[in-house]
Chains A and B, each alone.
Chain A
Amino acid sequence: MLQAVVTPTSLGDLRKALKLAPKATLVAGGTLVMPIINEGAHGISTLVSLSKLGIDAVSFKKGIATIGAAAPIAELARHSELKFLSAVIDSIGSPTLRNMATVGGNLFAYGDLAVCLVALDATAIVVNAKSKRSAPVEEIIKKGVKAGELVTHVSFAIPKPGTFKYAKASRRALNSASIVTVAAIIPLVKGMVADCRIALGGVAAKPVRAKSVEKLLNAKLFDEKTVRAAAAAAAKEIAPFTDAYASAWYRARVTPVHICRALLGDAAGKS
């Protein structure tokens, strides 16, 4: 049963709190942890809240966005520099949930924003009791953080206009979990794809890079034929699962469809 809830106001306080309760569970927006707390019999004795640590700011410098891990997702919508993410933000939970759910929470829940961060080649800033390091978000997702570490910020270069692509397939139009999420950066040089990054969510336990799709696109003319052929290669990258929303078969079956839609727009192939 829960014995304490601590709300540190500085990283120093946080370190002290974690020293006293090394097995404490971190909570930020509460959307992931509190349902477990409310269900009871969870074995959690200390909650440490990240909400007042002061890691909830969004800032921009020389085309680089730096976002505090405790920033509510709704906060992202307030910055014109992040307008390219508006469809992403809109696709995550509801406005009420977005007032609570945080960037860091989405990262570790392997949510749609995490998929975008992989596509954006974002960097995570990680602190522990003594030091600070940075690591690609992609790596953090793959390997997790070490005991005692905390992701405080993520940062990424704002993509060139028109290069960021996103599509999410879900069972409801709004506030619905992902069946397939596609996020991509597709830079074009004279109509040719130059070093693209494509990330997929909902089709494996964690967000994955669709490297074989990227390979088939790079240095190719960006047209429907190329994209369709490349999208089919995604099958190699995914490890789809079955849940209440869709079966593994369905996820695999429609993954190329949604890659095409993300990259080409909904009108793809309408003839």
Chain B
Amino acid sequence: MAKLKGRGVAAVNYPTGMNLGGDPSQALIHATTTGSFVVTLSSVDLGQGLKTVIAQIAAETLGIPYDSVMIDTADTDTGPHCMGTFASRGTHRIGNAVIMAAREAREVMLNVAATELEVDAADLVTDGKGRIHVNGAPDKGIGVLDVALAAHFKHGNTISGRGIFLKPKSTPVPETGEMDPDSCQAHACTIAEVEVDDETGVVRVLKLTNGYEVGRAMNPALAHQQIVGGAWMGISHALYETTEPYYPDRAHGPLDFSEYLMPGPADLAEMESVIIERPASNGPYGAKGIGEMTANSPIPAIANAIFDACGVRVTSLPITPEKVLRGLDALQAVNPV
């Protein structure tokens, strides 16, 4: 028996958003009497962290602390339209809508502050900690709380904003396929190291070294979650998963988490990932969608590493021990040792 080691590379790009019918999302923002801001959406958090990242984007644009932002989602009676959470569109589309809404609300907030401070609104800045002051003169300022109170009870102003992001519909030209389906592209490269058991065909992924280009990481820890979880799913797709283990034969479809194979906590690979950032010109603070892409590059990188290890090119997913072993047997038949 031998454990054959190999290394494989793959690089990919991934579109942010997918637009064949117009791809909008909206956001509404308003301040409470006490200077909290409510971002109202009908957007869905699947676990990727939308509620966190959107609050960060809103806080950044409003110039207030993250803690002062509340995300109110998702109720179609109150939340404005969102196309949905898919196509790596959430952070990009909703983030952009939130920035637009937050700018409008910020303008009102600064105007109220200017009135209270008897200065020109154009001279005001926010410190991100809950205060608004004259640029260069931190003492000449007012708290966001007081601005909100004044807006409500003195001036009769609503500190609010409306935002929408729309990628207009692109209809492909039937003859050539000319189209504009996406907003930007994120990128990834994986270098996989594997070990192949030459008697059983079992593949173990030893290590994935990943480079990810994400536009800008709104929250690096959450980007890291997507990267690690996505790369795990990549390993899972490469070696384990299917609802039809003998496709196109329909038999033996798994019905539970025992039969539906995915790597467990004892089957993990070492992972080393680096993020690089090339902000997207149309992304919120440059962010691109990365949630989907993270699963993609590990799959071919593993397939290529398996070939490197043992000379078996498996061209169908998942790469089961059986497929590898049949490949090894075929090599042995051609070239007996």
**Which residues of A come within 8 Å of B, CB atoms?**
35, 169, 171-177, 242-247, 249-250, 253-254, 257-258, 261, 266, 268-270
Contact = CB atoms under 8 A, between A and B. Distances in A.
Q: 5 closest A-B pairs (Cβ-Cβ)?
A: A173-B266, A244-B259, A250-B322, A174-B266, A244-B254
Interface-central residue, B240, B256, B261, B263, by most chain A CB under 10 Å: B261
Interface stretch (B58-66, B130-138, B245-253): B245-253
A244 B264 contact: no
Contacts of A244: 245, 252-254, 259-261
B324 to A, nearest CB: 10
Nearest to B254: A244
Contacts of B252: 242-244
Interface residues of B, number: 25
Chain B contact residues, majority secondary structure: loop
B79 interface: no
Interface in B231-273: 240, 245-246, 251-254, 256, 258-261, 263-267
A245 B259 contact: yes
A175 B258 CA distance: 8
Contacts of A35: 256
A221 B29 CA distance: 82
B264 A174 contact: yes
Contacts of B149: none
B264 A173 contact: yes
7 contacts: A171-B240, A175-B258, A244-B245, A244-B259, A245-B259, A247-B246, A257-B1
Given A176-B258, A244-B254, A269-B1, A254 B264 contact: no
A268 B261 contact: no
Contacts of B246: 242, 247
Interface of B: 1-2, 199-200, 240, 245-246, 251-254, 256, 258-261, 263-267, 320-322, 325
Given A250-B321, A269-B1, A270-B2, A172 B261 contact: yes
A245 B262 CA distance: 11
Contacts of B253: 244
A250 B254 CA distance: 18
Contact of A173 (B245, B256, B267, B321): B267
Contacts of B266: 172-174
B199 A172 contact: no
A175 B264 contact: yes
A218 B263 CA distance: 39
A178 to B, nearest CB: 11
Contacts of B320: 246
Contacts of A246: 320-322
A125 B45 CA distance: 55
Given A244-B252, A246-B322, A247-B322, A172 B2 contact: no
B322 A172 contact: no
B199 A254 contact: yes
Contacts of A247: 246, 322
Contacts of B322: 246-247, 249-250
B261 A254 contact: no
B1 A268 contact: yes
A167 to B, nearest CB: 11
Contacts of A169: 200
A171 B200 CA distance: 11
A266 B245 CA distance: 28
Nearest to B253: A244
Nearest to B256: A35
B117 to A, nearest CB: 61
B261 A245 contact: yes
Contacts of B260: 244
Contacts of A176: 258, 264
A270 B3 CA distance: 9
A249 to B, nearest CB: 7
A120 to B, nearest CB: 26
A245 B264 CA distance: 15
Nearest to B265: A174
Contact of B258 (A177, A242, A249): A177
Interface-central residue, A177, A242, A250, A258, by most chain B CB under 10 Å: A250
Nearest to A241: B252
Given A173-B267, A175-B264, A245-B259, A254 B200 contact: yes
Nearest to A256: B199
Contacts of A173: 264, 266-267
Interface-central residue, A171, A247, A257, by most chain B CB under 10 Å: A171
Contacts of A253: 325
Contacts of B256: 35
A250 B1 CA distance: 17
A254 B324 CA distance: 13
Contacts of B265: 174
A270 B4 CA distance: 12
Contacts of A270: 1-2
Nearest to A243: B252
Contacts of B325: 250, 253-254
Given A174-B264, A245-B259, A257 B199 contact: yes
Contacts of B240: 171
Nearest to A39: B255
Nearest to A264: B1
A73 to B, nearest CB: 16
Given A171-B240, A172-B264, A257-B200, 17 more contacts: A171-B321, A173-B266, A173-B267, A177-B258, A243-B252, A244-B245, A245-B245, A246-B321, A246-B322, A249-B322, A253-B325, A258-B200, A261-B1, A266-B1, A269-B1, A270-B1, A270-B2
